[in-house]
Amino acid sequence: MRKQKSFPFLTQESRVEQQDGVVAPPSSAPPVTVQQQANSKPKRQKSNALRAGLAIVSGRAAGALSRRLHLGGGTSIVGAVAQRLYPDIIEHLASQLEYGCVIVTGTNGKTTTSGFVSAIINDAGLRVWRNREGANLLRGVASSLVIRALPNGHLRRSGHAISVLEIDEAVLPQIVQVITPRVIVFTNLFRDQLDRYGEVDSVLAYWKQAIAALPATTTLILNADDPAIAALGIQYPGPIIYYGIDDLSFDLLSQQQTPSQHQVMDTRTCPMCGATYEYEMRFYSHMGHYKCPTCGQRRPQPNVRATQIETSGFDRLSMYITTPTYGDKLIVPLPGLYNIYNALAAVATAQALSISWEPVVSGIEQFKPAFGRGERIQVEGRTLRLLLAKNPTGFNEVLRTLFQEQQPRHVFFILNDNAADGRDVSWIWDVDFERAAGLLKTVVVGGTRALDLSLRLKYAGVPLENLIIVPSTPLRTIRSPKSSRKRKTRANRSDNAITALATTPDGNELYRPYGYGLKNALNTALQQTPIGETLFIVPTYTGLLEVHHELEQRGLAPHYWEGRDA
C-alpha cells in the first residue's frame, strides 16, 4: 500500500490541510508546508492499523524485554520484531508524518549533515524525528518509528513532524521502496570498508537503482564537486539542487605536495565515456572542479555555493554562502573542509524545503558537534576532542585539519577491525600519516589493530621511541608466566617454554609498559597530555563507541543518545 502523496515545492505562505487522524498544526504555521492528499481507504486501513498495532505492541514488548534481560540496547529488536509481524510497518508509519521525510546518505558526513538539517528544521518550528546513531539500516529505521507509535497503529504527534533519516549507502534502494522521501541528500562517495560494501562502483549501482525508483517529486541534493555524486543527476527528471565550493585558496593542486602525500582518488574516470577527468581545482581526494576532456561532462554549476572561506581558530570556519534566494555570511562551528560540504548540503536541503534564511543561520551557527564528530569533552583540566575517522579520505581530512597549521598536537589513535569498522585495515597505508610525523607532541596508539597502526606510523617516520603502543590484548605467547599458569587448561608444554623465554628480562622489547586495553590507553593518553592542553582522539567507529562508553562510565560524557528523540 502506498499512499498517493504530492509534495509540491511550496512558498512561504503556509497552507495547512487538516488530515484524518492527525493533530492540526497550530495557527503559527511553520515556514514549510506540505499539501497532502490523504488517499483514504477506510476498510483496508482499519485492518492494517490493527496489524500495525499488533506489530508495535509486540516490537516494543520485545525491546523492553531485551533491555530488561540486558541482551542488548533493545533498539534494533523493536524494529526486527515489528517488521516480522507487519512487513509494511515502515511504510505504514512513515506515511503518517505530515511533513514527510528527508534522507541523508553517502560515505562521510551523514551524521553531521543530518544534524545540521535537523537543527535548521527545528529552528524553523517543526518537530524533527531522527533515527539513532548507527541505526541506519531498515531495522533501525523501523525501530525509530515503532518506538514513537501508539498501539492503535498511529504515530504519536505525527502532525507538524518531519523525519530526517540517516541511511546506510547500501540500504537506500530498500528504503525508497517503503518511504517516498521529499529530499535525498548525497554527501560524497569514497572507498569505505571494501570487505562490506564492495567497491565504490557497487555502491553507485545501489544508488542508481534507488534513484530510478523515485517519483519525480523527490528533490535530489547532490555534491557538485564529487564527480560520482554529481553524475547521479544525469537524466533524473525531478528537481536537483547542486552544492559546491568555489574558493580557489583551498586548491590542493596549487599547494606544494610531495609524492608521498599523493592522495588516492576513488573516482577518476568519466561515467559517460571512461576518459580520465581533468581537474582545474582539487580540494581533496576526487573532490574539486573537474571536466571530462573527451565528452565534455563536467562539474555542474552549483546552486548553493561557498566562497571566501576563512578559518579562524580550530573550529570556526567563516564563509560566504550564495543560494538562488539568499547570499550571506555563515559561520560553521566545526573544523575541517569536509564540514563546509556538510553545511552546504544542509543549506541546500533548507532550500528544497523552502525554509527561510534565519533558521539556517541559527541552526548551523549554534550547532553542537554530533557524537564523536568534533565533540568536545573536559577531563581533569584537559580538553578532549573526538574526531571519528573511519576510511582513508575521512582520516586524511582529519589529519589535514589537525596539522594544517603545523602545530604539534597530542594525539590518541584507536584502530579497531570489528565488523562495523571493516575487517580489513589495509586502508591505513593509503592515509598520509607522513603529514603528522614531525608534529606529534605525544602519540598513543590503541585498539585491536594497534600494532598495524604503529607500524604505519613507524614507516611514516615517527620515531619508535616516541610511540606509546597500548594494544587491546597482549599476545598470548608473551603473557606473563603467572597469568598463563592460571589459564593452564589450554596451554601446552611448548607454550610454557616459549612464555618463559619471552619474558626473560634481557632484550625484552615486546613488553608493553603501559599495559593493554582501552582503559589503560585512555589513561596513558590523558597522562601524556599536560593540564590545560588538548588531546585529540582519532578513533574508528567501534573505537569511538568504546572510548565514549569509557568516558560515560567515568561520568565525563553524556550518554550518547541523550538529548536525541529516541
Partner 1 sequence: MTYHITHPLTLTLGHLYPDQLNLYGDRGNITTLRWRCQQRGITLRVVGLGIGDALAPDEYDMLFIGGGQDREQAPVAQDLYEVKGIGLWAAIEDDMPVLAVCGGYQLLAHYYRPAEGPDMRGLGVFDAWTIHKGPRSPRCIGDIAISWNGSTLVGFENHGGRTYLGSAKPLGRVLKGYGNNAEDHSEGAIYRNAYGTYMHGSLLPKNPHFADHLILLALQRKYGIKDVSMLQNEDGKLNGSAHLSAKANGSAPALATLDETTALLPPLNDTLEWEAHAAILERLGLYREAAMTLQTRRQL
Inter-axis angle of helices 138-146 and 76-85, to 10 degrees? 90
Q: How far is the CB of 306 from partner 1 (least distance, A)?
A: 29
Using the minimum distance from each CB to partner 1, give the nearer residue, 150 or 264. Answer: 264
Using the minimum distance from each CB to partner 1, give the nearer residue, 71 or 510. Answer: 510
Using the minimum distance from each CB to partner 1, give the nearer residue, 34 or 437. Answer: 437
Using the minimum distance from each CB to partner 1, give the nearer residue, 174 or 180. Answer: 174
Q: What angle do CA 223, 168, 219 make, to 5 degrees?
A: 40
CA distance 247 to 283: 10
Q: Helix or strand or coil: residue 284? A: strand
Which spans of this chain sit near partner 1 (rule: CB under 8 A)? 191, 194-195, 199-201, 259-260, 264-265, 268-269, 274, 423-430, 451-452, 454-456, 458-460, 464, 469, 471, 475-478, 494-495, 498, 501-502, 507, 509-510
Q: How far is the CB of 44 from partner 1 (least distance, A)?
A: 37
Contacts of 235 (CB under 8 A, 6+ apart): none
Contact 412, 525 (CB under 8 A): yes
Contact 382, 534 (CB under 8 A): yes
Using the minimum distance from each CB to partner 1, give the nearer residue, 59 or 394. Answer: 394
Contacts of 368 (CB under 8 A, 6+ apart): none
Q: How far is the CB of 399 from partner 1 (least distance, A)?
A: 15
CA distance 431 to 262: 10
Q: How far is the CB of 510 from partner 1 (least distance, A)?
A: 6
Q: How far is the CB of 353 from partner 1 (least distance, A)?
A: 36
Phi/psi of residue 280, each to 5°? -85, -30
Q: How far is the CB of 389 from partner 1 (least distance, A)?
A: 15
Q: How far is the CB of 477 from partner 1 (least distance, A)?
A: 4
Q: What angle do CA 110, 7, 101 make, to 5 degrees?
A: 30
Q: Which helix (H) or strand (E) holds 537?
A: strand 534-539
Active-site residue identified among 195, 424, 495, 506: 424
Using the minimum distance from each CB to partner 1, give the nearer residue, 20 or 465. Answer: 465
Using the minimum distance from each CB to partner 1, give the nearer residue, 71 or 234. Answer: 234
Contacts of 417 (CB under 8 A, 6+ apart): 423, 424, 425, 448, 449
The position carrying cell 510497518 is: 89
Contact 141, 131 (CB under 8 A): yes
Q: Is 88 a catalytic residue?
A: no
DSSP 399-454: HHHHHTT---EEEEEE---STTT-S--GGGGGS-GGGTGGGEEEEEEEETTHHHHH
CA distance 443 to 538: 11
* Catalytic residue ranges: 424
